[in-house]
Structure 1
Amino acid sequence: MILLDDVTLTYPDGDARLTAVDHATLEARPGVVTGLTGASGSGKSSLLAIAAALVRPDAGRVVIDGTDATCLSRADATALRRERIGIVFQQPQLLPALTAREQLCAMAELGGRHRRTRRPAIRARVDELLDAVGLAEHANRRPAQLSGGQRQRVAIARALVHEPRVLLVDEPTSALDRARGAAIMALIARLTHERRTATLLVTHDLVHSDSLDETFIVTDGRVTAGALVGGSGGRNEP
């Protein structure tokens, strides 16, 4: 579960401060894809950074999987991200020299839950995830040998390799055409429902809104609840 409770975030702006997030409250529940929508510069990325415990807000409470992230030291916040938060960036950010399988194995070695796990068990987990995202036959290919949509699928699998409670996704379709974007959004929805992650997804493109279960609209740092746009609400299999 992700809970941002009356969160405010400001940045220095000359002699004053610029408000990026203004008394925002939202919740993303397990098994639900919660969308953050709004114009460029509205505060969506700042909210995602707060939810990732990358930025500490000026005021308010940030609860990630039962832990109040606003009370954590920098080291403890890093451990929280490593063990309980999966992040999918706007660009896949894959290592060019590693195959799809190796990308996931490297992340699994870093994850707190798998550091003492036998490597055969890690490989089995990696292969299960690559199969789940439809890339079992491409496990030994490097990023240059994959399409844009396939690279994004690797990034999604990599974010899930340490079995996070929370998945944060930043504009996953921005570099993809409409068909590939729809496939990525459907994949995120399916994995969220199946694995019961609490998924918070930033998007400005509502053409794929059918893959969202709930939405929040961000305007000048303020958050308002949108309509229930998906059919499942995380309650049924898609």
Structure 2
Amino acid sequence: MITLDDVTLTFPDGERRVTAVDHVSLTARPGVVTGITGPSGSGKSSLLAVAATLIRPDSGRVLIGGSAGSGGSHAGDGAVSGAVDAAVLSRDDATALRRERIGIVFQQSNLLPSLTAREQVLVMAHLGGGHRAAVTRARVDELLDAVGLSGHGDKRPAQLSGGQRQRVAIARALVHDPDVLLVDEPTSALDQERGAAIMDLIARLTHERGTATMLVTHDMVHRAVLDELVTIVDGRLTDGAPAGVAVRAA
């Protein structure tokens, strides 16, 4: 589980500061895909970066793991037992937490051109050290099969389609069985058919593995695969789909 509790993030802009995330409270529960939508510049990616421990917020808590009472996506009183507050960790400790408990899928697959699909996943495991260094080729092939790439393990990025490259990125993010999966606009570089297949894949893996998934998207054509949906406008959570968010019939 991941809970953002009253998180605020600002950036310097000359002599003043611009608020990118404004007192946001949000929980993604295990086995649930929580979608985050909003117009361009609304703070979606900034919110995800805070959740990923890539940026420390000005204030608020980023609670990874633990358990809380049942309820919707909006955090209640912030009471989460057994969780780690990533917002107060040192940079090294936050990096270690991210490697062990958080999987991240970016807009672009960011694969290394010289490595095969199998090697992309193995390298990520070995970089983490510890028990992850023992990840075997068989385990990686199981992951590639889970994302629909059985038989493609020896192919390099140039030999894969855009959708297949994104599937490799998803397998790479899941190699250490993270508690939390954070996904930023995974369909932005794909056509509608391939985008739908990627969204279906993320939803299926979330439900099967019990991962707490936060997924940023601007395109409501994929709304059906999101278990929960929140909207952010000018850094604040709001109700309803704002202007600038694409809503199309499937």
TM-score (normalizing by structure 2): 0.87
| Match of residue 5 from structure 2 | 5
SS at match of 2:8: strand
Gaps in structure 2 of 5+ consecutive residues: 66-82, 242-250
Matched, 1:55 2:55: yes
Matches within 5 A, 1:24-43: 24-43=24-43
Matched-pair contact (CA < 8 Å) for 1:8–1:19? yes
User: Kindly tell me: are residues 87 and 10 of structure 1, through their superposed partners in 2, closer, same or farther at Cα, counting changes over 3 Å?
Assistant: same
Instruction: Classify the secondary structure of the residue corresponding to 1:30.
Output: coil
Identity of aligned residues (%): 75
Match of 1:235 in 2: none
8 A contact 1:108–1:122 mirrored in 2: no
1:197 and 2:214 correspond: no
Could you say what secondary structure the match of 2:136 adopts?
Answer: helix
Residue number in structure 2 paired with 1:80: 97
SS at match of 2:109: coil
Q: Which residue of the partner structure matches residue 91 of structure 1?
A: 108
- Deviation of residue 113 (structure 1)? 5.1
| Deviation sequence 1:111-158 (CA, Å, 0-9, x none) | 3453452xxx52121011000011011110000000000000000000
Q: CA deviation at 1:34?
A: 0.4
Q: Distance in 2 between matches of 1:35 and 1:122?
A: 33
2:226 alignment partner AA: L
Number of aligned residues: 224
Q: Give the equivalent residue in structure 1 for 2:245.
A: none
Per the alignment, in what secondary structure is the counterpart of residue 102 of structure 1?
helix
- For 1:224, the equivalent position in structure 2 comes to 238
CA contact (8 A) 2:62 2:86 kept: yes
1:136 correspondence with 2:150: yes
Check the 8 A contact 1:166/1:197 in 2, yes or no: yes
Query: 1:15 corresponds to which residue?
Result: 15
Q: Over the residues paired in the alignment, what is the CA RMSD in angstroms? A: 1.3
Secondary structure, counterpart of 1:136 in structure 2: coil
The aligned amino acid for 1:146 is: L
Which residues of 2 match residues 138-177 of structure 1 at below 5 A?
A: 138-177=152-191
The Cα shift of 1:224 comes to: 3.0
Relative distance call for 1:32 and 1:91 in structure 2 (3 A) is same
d(CA) in 1 for partners of 2:180, 2:171: 14
What SS class does the counterpart of residue 39 from structure 2 fall into? coil
Aligned position for 1:101: 118
2:43 and 2:129 mapped to 1: Cα distance? 31
Structure 1 residues 113 and 128, CA, compared in 2 at 3 Å: closer, same or farther?
Answer: farther
Distance 2:12 2:26 in 1: 25
CA distance in structure 2 between the partners assigned to 1:93 and 1:177 by the alignment: 18
Structure 1: which 4+ aligned runs deviate by more than 4 Å?
A: none
Contact 1:82 1:112 in 2 (8 A): no
Amino acid at match of 1:59: S
Determine helix, strand or coil for the equivalent of 1:137: coil
Q: For the Cα contact (< 8 Å) 2:127–2:133, is it kept in 1?
A: no
Q: What are the ranges of 5 or more consecutive residues in structure 1 without an aligned counterpart?
A: 228-238
Q: Which amino acid aligns with 2:219?
A: D
**Larger displacement relative to structure 2 (193-202 or 55-64):** 55-64
Normalised by the size of structure 1, how large is the TM-score? Answer: 0.91
**Helix, strand or coil for the counterpart of 2:237?**
strand
Distance 1:111 1:159 in 2: 12
Partner of 1:114, secondary structure, is helix
In 1, the alpha carbon distance for the partners of 2:130 and 2:234 equals 38
